[in-house]
Amino acid sequence: AQLSVAGRAARLVEAARAHLPLGDPATAQAMLEQAEPFLAGGDPVLRARALHTRATVDIYFDRVDGVLPRLLAAADTVAATDPALARSILMESLLGALRGDHDPTAAKRFGALILTSPAVRSVASTSADLLLRGFALRMDGDYPQAVPELRAALSAMGRDREVIENGVRPATLALYAAEEAWDEVGGHEAALSAEAHERRIGALGALWSTLVVRSTWELRAGRFAAAGACLDEAEDRSAVIGQPAPGQAWRVELLAWSGQQEQARTAAAVLVRDLVTRHTNSGIGNWVRNCLAVLDISLGRYAEAVAHARVPFDDDAAGAVPRVLPDLVEAAVRCGDHRTAKDALRRLEERAPLAGTPWALGLLARSRALMADDDQAEDLFRQALDLLGRTRVRTDLARTHLLYGEWLRRRRRRADARAELRTAYELFARMGAAAFADRARVELLATGERTRGRTVRTDHDLTPQERRIAGLAAAGATNTEIATRLFITQSTVEYHLNKVFRKLDIVSRRQLRTILQ
């Protein structure tokens, strides 16, 4: 029997939606265009699904400008009749709000709309409710109430699966939540959970962005090789599905931390050109500036670091600010901009205790130490080291050893300084943070130490495929599991692992795990 107009439209919209998890937004867009003439005046729920799908396509292509009003209209249409669909739509509108052009007035209005939506329960119970309420409160200016909701959302993601299974980019939403709540454990585990789900159902369209997010957590843990392997696979996945390739551009954070100045600045320029300028994607713009601030701090270019970090600080957009606060304090102190340092520290003092995590409190103690009198600074540095030592964020721990060592050397306590600087140097060298390692080495030499010329380990001698296989092997995967994951034979895995062992001058997986982790 011939389909009715409404039936044909419904089938096209559902078919378009089905192509998105497969990583085929182009076909989804074509089907929506076919359905468009049949939607006017039809079923409002079907129109909402079509708007939802169209916006998802735009988000896949990072065309976030203008997405928000369409999604909010769609969610409003179905909030009373299909609250689960409305929450799914609102999660995508949230992603658009977080990544799009930041307007404080619009953000506050958006937060108020979510808080009053009948689809979002006032007593939040699911991960989606908690995530939506948490960010709505943050955008509405209620940071003290937002943080507990966001931490609870990260915890709930491992239980009820609503965000993981229905969000367009759940790992990205979890990353923003973890930034606000200073919860590196919850953020990393949510990314791993999203990755496992996307691999299981073959959602290649979401998987590449999840791998980019996971690379951030691997980097912060000091596992630069594993971060590089995530980015290699993300690039491969995006090529398979015809997504605009992340390429070198998405490596800007890893390049910055690795001290590769020219490549990092080139990658940053590409992202700004393709996403920030073209699609008004200020969320990505703030992330790029955060990366460049770290690069300039590692190179001792403190005034330039302040210029980069000041933009997201002034913007104060949800998910963009927490990580930049300690960087802005450090850079401003070092270049004598005490007013900016005080402003950044004041905001950190307001927000870090609300999060209450070792990561937040450790960075607060370190930032206070940089601005404290001598009789207080040392206790604060030691407090920072104790707190950060309880976290997975080895990059911040290494930077704290470096700052404490520099402080000790300037007070002519050479023996004490030497111990801290040596620890910093070893940590940076092991993870591959070349510019920070060089900064620690110069300070160490100034104490009279003669460094042993340790080579800063990087993964540049390994091919992308070798990095992927090495990262999986270091994580405990068997040859069979690696072969299945990468769609290659076991003999190919063995061949590449043997090459990895020769290049790194090791003989076992245990040694490989030590080097990469």
99-118 pLDDT, tens digit each: 766 677 778 888 888 888 88
Whether residue 369 contacts residue 407, with contact meaning beta carbons closer than 8 Å, is answered with yes
User: According to DSSP H, which parts of 21-142 are helical?
Assistant: 25-39, 44-60, 67-78, 83-99, 104-116, 127-139
Q: Of all residues in the chain, what percent are helix, strand and coil, respectively (each to 5)?
A: 75, 0, 25
| Residue 27, CB-side half-sphere exposure with 13 Å CA sphere | 15
149 pLDDT more than 90: yes
453 pLDDT more than 60: no
134-138, 249-253, 279-283: which is most confident: 134-138
What confidence tier does 362 reach under pLDDT thresholds 50, 70, 90?
very high
Average pLDDT (369-387) is 96
184 pLDDT more than 80: yes
Query: In whole angstroms, how large is the CA radius of gyration of the chain?
Result: 24
Average pLDDT (366-384) is 96
pLDDT at 192: 92
61-65, 172-176, 489-493, 511-515: which is most confident: 172-176
45 pLDDT more than 50: yes
What are 52's two structure tokens? 């939802």
* Residues 190-224: tens digit of each pLDDT: 999 999 888 888 887 788 889 999 999 999 999 99
Average pLDDT (167-180) is 87
What are 47's two structure tokens? 């129109």
122 pLDDT more than 70: no
CATH code for residues 464-516? 1.10.10.10
Amino acid at 113: L
pLDDT at 330: 98
Average per-residue pLDDT in the chain?
85
Whether residue 313 contacts residue 324, with contact meaning beta carbons closer than 8 Å, is answered with yes
pLDDT at 416: 93
What confidence tier does 237 reach under pLDDT thresholds 50, 70, 90?
confident
* Residues 329-358: tens digit of each pLDDT: 999 999 999 999 999 999 999 999 999 999
Dist CA 211 CA 195 (whole Å): 7
Q: How far is CA 112 from CA 136, 248, 332, 377, in A?
A: 7, 38, 35, 42
**Which class for 501: exposed (0-12), middle (13-18), buried (19 or more C-beta within 10 A)?**
middle
pLDDT at 279: 47
Structure-model confidence comparison of residues 236 and 384, the more confident one? 384
* Residues 383-413: tens digit of each pLDDT: 999 999 999 999 999 999 999 999 999 999 9
pLDDT at 1: 45
pLDDT at 272: 78
Determine what percent of the chain is predicted with pLDDT higher than 90: 40
pLDDT at 244: 58
Hunting for tokens 């060592």 — which residue is that?
Answer: 405
Nearest to 328 by CA among 318, 393, 315: 315
Dist CA 138 CA 135 (whole Å): 5
Q: Does domain 309-444 match CATH 1.25.40.10?
A: yes
**Superfamily for the 5-245 domain:** Tetratricopeptide repeat domain (1.25.40.10)
pLDDT at 152: 93
* Residues 433-451: tens digit of each pLDDT: 999 999 999 999 998 877 6
Whether residue 332 contacts residue 313, with contact meaning beta carbons closer than 8 Å, is answered with no
Q: What are phi and psi of 448, to 5 degrees?
A: 100, -5
Structure-model confidence comparison of residues 359 and 162, the more confident one? 359
Dist CA 289 CA 502 (whole Å): 38
Structure-model confidence comparison of residues 411 and 278, the more confident one? 411
* Residues 470-516: tens digit of each pLDDT: 888 888 888 888 888 887 877 788 778 878 877 777 766 777 877 77
**Residue-range domain boundaries for the chain:** 5-245, 309-444, 464-516
The CB density around residue 63, as the number of other CB atoms within 10 Å, is 18
**Which class for 372: exposed (0-12), middle (13-18), buried (19 or more C-beta within 10 A)?**
middle
Whether residue 474 contacts residue 468, with contact meaning beta carbons closer than 8 Å, is answered with no
Average pLDDT (454-463) is 59
Identical fold for domains 309-444 and 464-516, yes or no, is no
